[in-house]
Amino acid sequence: MYGGGNVFEATKFDNLQTEDPAKLAEFEARIARGEKIEPNDWMPELYRKQLIRMIEQHAHSEIIGALPEGTWITRAPGFRRKMAQMAKVQDEVGHAQLLYSAAETLGKTREQMLTDLINGKSKYSNVFNYPAFTWADSNIISWLIDAGAIVNQMANAKGSYGPYSRALERICAEEAFHLKYGHDAVVHMATGTPKQREMIQAALNRWWPPIMTFFGPSDKMSTHTETLMRWKVKMASNDECRQQFLDMYVPKIWELGLTVPDPKLKKNMETGQWEYTEPDWDEFKRVINGDGPCNAERLAVRRTAEERGAWVRRALLNPKAKYVKPLA
């Protein structure tokens, strides 16, 4: 999981004039040639700022995203699922660790990023502000949210910032397993007892609207993406990702005899594009700005974990140690 940091907020690109034009031109030429930008290379301040924001939000999405599925670790039915659910959620926490390191190479410490998360200053993927009511919800997250994340991250893995792109390659390899796990769990539910089928359909109905907003507002509504695309920070538009996701997964959902709760959903054979009910972007904005079903709970859990663990971090702190950026 969970990708797509850049969809939450974009940096305003109104102030590139302060950069050295020669350096900026060389930087853009390197990116155009397909070179990776490394931590000690020259980069425009806006590039640095946007990447920190994006990688940080991605990292936050991993640890906050571990919560809705994490609550089902202790309740997973049977050894096979229990072991897999633990390993899956552990991977997500591992991704956070990897991503915080990647963001640290740009000059912001993990501690500062976590503080900004708890204070509500930086965002995480909006879907995790929705609850996982049942085991089936957890299965839908494992399958379809991870699927969405892969679409997003495969694109961003081709981005220009070396440490982020390398982190994403590793993350995608693990996500591929999550996808198999999630699909297998959903298949068992969808082909199981009437009760299991009912549980999985209900979960899909609950999660479909958040899934449709996962890739961010439609391209008509998002701005400032041109420079991000040129700098290979953003590699595919929100709508492109959404279309690709629908193309890959709606047939698989239908194949299982499940229905998608959107009467308008169909593929237009002439345009090759999926048509769907426009997601409720007002709700999206409301939730991302703090007023969703689980925002307060998610941050409270994170805050409690930070507070309860503070003595451990204080104890580990060596006053003589000097801060060193991680290698990534």
Partner 1 sequence: MNELAIKDLLYKLADDQLILGHRNSEWTGFGPILEEDIAFSSMAQDKIGHSLAFYTLLQELGEADPDTVAFTRNANQFHNSQLVELPNGEYDFSLIRHFLYDNAEIIRFEMLSQSSYEPIAKVATKLKGEVKYHVLHANTWIKNLGTSTEEAILRLQASLNEAIPYALGMFEPSQYEQELIEAGVYAGEEAVKVEWLKRIQAVIEKTDLKLPDLNTIEPKFGGRHGEHTEHLQPLLDEMAEVFKIDPTAEW
Please give the backbone phi and psi of residue 130, each rounded to the nearest 5 degrees, phi first: -105, 150
Quick check: 74 binds partner 1 (CB under 8 A)? yes
87 vs 265, beta carbon nearer partner 1 = 87
Quick check: 311 binds partner 1 (CB under 8 A)? yes
Question: SS3 of 275, please?
Answer: strand
Other CB atoms within a 10 A radius of the CB of residue 277 amount to 13
Distance CA 44, CA 241 (A): 27
Site size with partner 1, rule: CB under 8 A: 44
* Site track 114-133 with partner 1 (rule: CB under 8 A), x = hit: --------------------
Closest separation in Å from C-beta 147 to partner 1: 21
Closest CA to 298 of 310, 309, 288: 288
Structure tokens of 221?
């509504």
Closest separation in Å from C-beta 62 to partner 1: 10
Quick check: 76 binds partner 1 (CB under 8 A)? yes
Of 90-98, 141-149, 173-181, 228-236, the segment contacting partner 1 by CB under 8 A is 90-98
Distance CA 139, CA 117 (A): 26
Q: Please state the length of the chain.
A: 328
Applying CB under 8 A, among 52, 66, 117, 157 the residue interacting with partner 1 is 66
Of 48-56, 95-103, 145-153, 207-215, the segment contacting partner 1 by CB under 8 A is 95-103
* Site track 183-222 with partner 1 (rule: CB under 8 A), x = hit: --x--xx--xx-xx--------------------------
Closest CA to 279 of 296, 265, 293: 265
Quick check: 257 binds partner 1 (CB under 8 A)? no
43 vs 73, beta carbon nearer partner 1 = 73
Q: How far is CA 202 from CA 85, 152, 184, 198, in A?
A: 21, 26, 18, 6
Q: Cα 152–155–160 angle (5° rounding)? A: 125
Quick check: 140 binds partner 1 (CB under 8 A)? no
Q: Cα 288–290–291 angle (5° rounding)? A: 100
Q: Are 38 and 162 in contact (CB under 8 A)?
A: yes
Closest separation in Å from C-beta 165 to partner 1: 21
Question: SS3 of 51, please?
Answer: helix
**Bridge partners of residue 275, in order along the sequence:** 266
Closest separation in Å from C-beta 170 to partner 1: 15
Distance CA 220, CA 58 (A): 23
Q: How many CA atoms lie within 13 A of 215 on its CB side?
A: 29
Applying CB under 8 A, among 9, 30, 49, 86 the residue interacting with partner 1 is 86
Applying CB under 8 A, among 23, 41, 77, 257 the residue interacting with partner 1 is 77
Quick check: 63 binds partner 1 (CB under 8 A)? yes
261-300: which residues touch partner 1 (CB under 8 A)? none
Structure tokens of 25?
């031109």
273 vs 304, beta carbon nearer partner 1 = 304
Q: DSSP state, 161?
A: B
Of 46-54, 72-80, 170-178, 281-289, the segment contacting partner 1 by CB under 8 A is 72-80
Q: How far is CA 130 from CA 183, 249, 291, in A?
A: 20, 21, 11
Quick check: 251 binds partner 1 (CB under 8 A)? no
53 vs 60, beta carbon nearer partner 1 = 60
Quick check: 256 binds partner 1 (CB under 8 A)? no
Q: Kindly list the residues in this chain that would bind partner 1 in the complex (CB under 8 A).
A: 63, 66-67, 70, 72-79, 81-83, 86-87, 89-90, 93-94, 96-97, 100, 135, 185, 188-189, 192-193, 195-196, 301, 304-305, 308-316
